[in-house]
Structure 1
Amino acid sequence: MDYSKHDHHHDHRIESDVRTHVTYNNGKILIKLEDNKGIPPELTIQHEKEMHFIIVSNDLEEYYHLHPVEEQKGYYAVNLPLNNGTYQAFIDIVPKNKAYQITPNSLQIGTAKTSKVKLEEDTWTKEHNGKTVTLSSVDAIVGEEVSLTFDTHGEKPDPYLGALGHVIIVDEDVKQHIHVHPASEDTTTFNAHFSKPGMYKIWAEFKFGDNVNVYPFILKVKK
């Protein structure tokens, strides 16, 4: 697989030919897709799935990476009980023969609204389920390729969705989604591009045995 063709930076602004609509009812999320004529688009399989669905709370504390399945033409669903609050949903798809730009779909559960937060840099080493991952120090600059190298401390992750890991990045304002993948199939280095300076939250996903561990990091991107 040529991983370079499967990096989805989504930081260039294009006119999208596909509209997305997200609703939530009693623990079930429903996603409707349609083009400008109201016709459901055909989707290309990317990293073993038709759809990668990322939902985060406005304060960037809650994070989910799911793979909804098509229940009927143009309608995808996944079960996810959510706490009351405000969320942003990002639908990562590759429609066939149609331009598509990921934009956040706001989702309000209950009446209590979740405020956005100011991110502050934290530690570069995180532990989850007994597995430790360190993000190497990086000088992230707008407009340049930023290599994110994760040290899994001698434990090679198992293949997960066609790669050794996945990295999702969302900006502090919860408006921009950057989904990148390893530079090659046998590395835990990821290449990302940023179009704006500021603070970003990274969720690095690595599979060890039966567990997919998620490691959060904060990154400052400079001009």
Structure 2
Amino acid sequence: MSTATQHQQAQGNTLGGLQVSQNGYTLNPLTASTPTGRPTDFKFTVTGPGGKPVVDYKVEHEKKLHFIVVSRDLTSFQHVHPEMTRDGTWSAKLTLPKAGPYRAFADFTPKGGENLTLGADLQAAGGDYQPEPLPHVSRTSTIGEYTVNLAGNLVPGHTSKLTLTVNKSGKPLSDLQPYLGDFGHLVALRADDLTYLHVHPEASEKAGPEITFHAEVPSGGDYRLFFDFRHDDTVRTADFTATAVLSPSATHDHGH
């Protein structure tokens, strides 16, 4: 998503992922129920202003459509890559780890149109839903042998520079593999309503250890950041909780 689109989403009345329909486009889940803990062939369509499924999309970051599924408590995150049939029906292998409510996001650009992120609610059946508390604010995420450190702060209404540094067994990595056309992929979600912000890194030829992103958040409060990176042919996800606070310098700048 471009910086201009992020700015438009942050400043406009319509924030990403909060609506199932926007500008005549609608996200339509076709799979009625999703079991817990086992793969499901989840199907959906995106219908256009004429009411028919969209079949022509602009390829962005190597995909026609990006499909993100998170649990409502923001402790579970999946970025899956659905396949589309000729009639515009999308299908994704989806495994929801625990019972309860989820939010699905379709991030796409219809051919000849503007980038959109539509959101729809999903429910994983089976068992009692016990929401987990939002993970504590942290600048370090550990995934097995990998550690990812976060530098930078989210500032409402301003473009924030975020730098993620990837280490394995304590050593900085310089051989990250491209994932979706970049050396990293970052999704930010506002904790209170799951507003969706999709950001990508600065252009760089260096395959790590540092990857820099620019994000613009629409308000103060807590956000969840999910960072996908690829190494040794495996995609891993680091997650962080960050709080956006208007800094004194930003307040001063805004005043001028």
Give the TM-score normalised by structure 1.
Answer: 0.87
Question: Which has the higher mean CA deviation after the structures are superposed, 90-99 or 15-24?
Answer: 15-24
Query: What is the rounded CA distance, in whole Å, between the counterparts of 1:39 and 1:161 in structure 2?
Result: 28
Q: Residues 145-168 of structure 1: CA distance to partner in whole angstroms, max 9, x if unpaired?
A: 011101124202211110000001
Q: Deviations over 1:12-49 (max 9, x none)?
A: 44552311112435612111111121123321111111
1:212 aligns with one of 204, 210, 235:
235
Between the aligned partners of 2:138 and 2:177, the Cα distance in structure 1 is 25
* Contact 2:143/2:236 (8 A) holds in 1: yes
The alpha-carbon deviation at position 84 of structure 1 amounts to 2.4
Indicate the structure with greater helix content: 2
Q: Deviations over 1:96-146 (max 9, x none)?
A: 12345323200112266757666354331222131211001x232111001
1:31 lines up with 2:34 in the alignment: no
Q: Distance in 2 between matches of 1:133 and 1:171?
A: 21
Instruction: Give the Cα–Cα distance (whole angstroms) in 2 for the partners of residues 109 and 66 of structure 1.
Output: 17
Identity of aligned residues (%): 25
Corresponding position: 1:44 with 2:58: yes
Specify which structure has the bigger relative contact order, considering alpha-carbon pairs within 8 angstroms and separated by 6 or more residues.
1
| Cα deviation, residue 182, structure 1 | 0.5
Highest CA radius of gyration, 1 or 2? 2
Residue of structure 2 in register with 1:109 after alignment: 124
The whole-number CA distance in structure 2 between the counterparts of 1:209 and 1:69 is 25
CA distance in 1, matches of 2:113, 2:44: 18
Structure 1 residue 72 displacement after superposition: 3.6
What is the CA RMSD across the aligned residues, in angstroms? 2.4
Determine whether 1:221 maps to 2:248: no
- 1:102 aligned counterpart, secondary structure: strand
1:119 to 2:134 alignment: yes
User: How far 1:67 moved relative to its partner?
Assistant: 1.0
Q: Map of 1:1-223 to 2, 5 A cutoff?
A: 5=2, 9=6, 10-11=9-10, 12-14=12-14, 15-24=22-31, 25=33, 27-41=40-54, 42-82=56-96, 83-110=98-125, 114=129, 119=134, 121-136=136-151, 138-153=152-167, 154-156=172-174, 157-186=176-205, 188-223=211-246
TM-score, structure 2 as length reference: 0.77
Number of residue pairs aligned between Structure 1 and Structure 2: 219
- The 3-state SS of whatever aligns with 1:140 is coil
Residue ranges of structure 1 left out of the alignment (5+ in a row): none
Cα distance in 2 between the residues matched to 1:180 and 1:7:
11
- Seen in structure 2, the aligned counterparts of structure 1 residues 118 and 151 have a Cα distance that, compared at 3 Å, is same
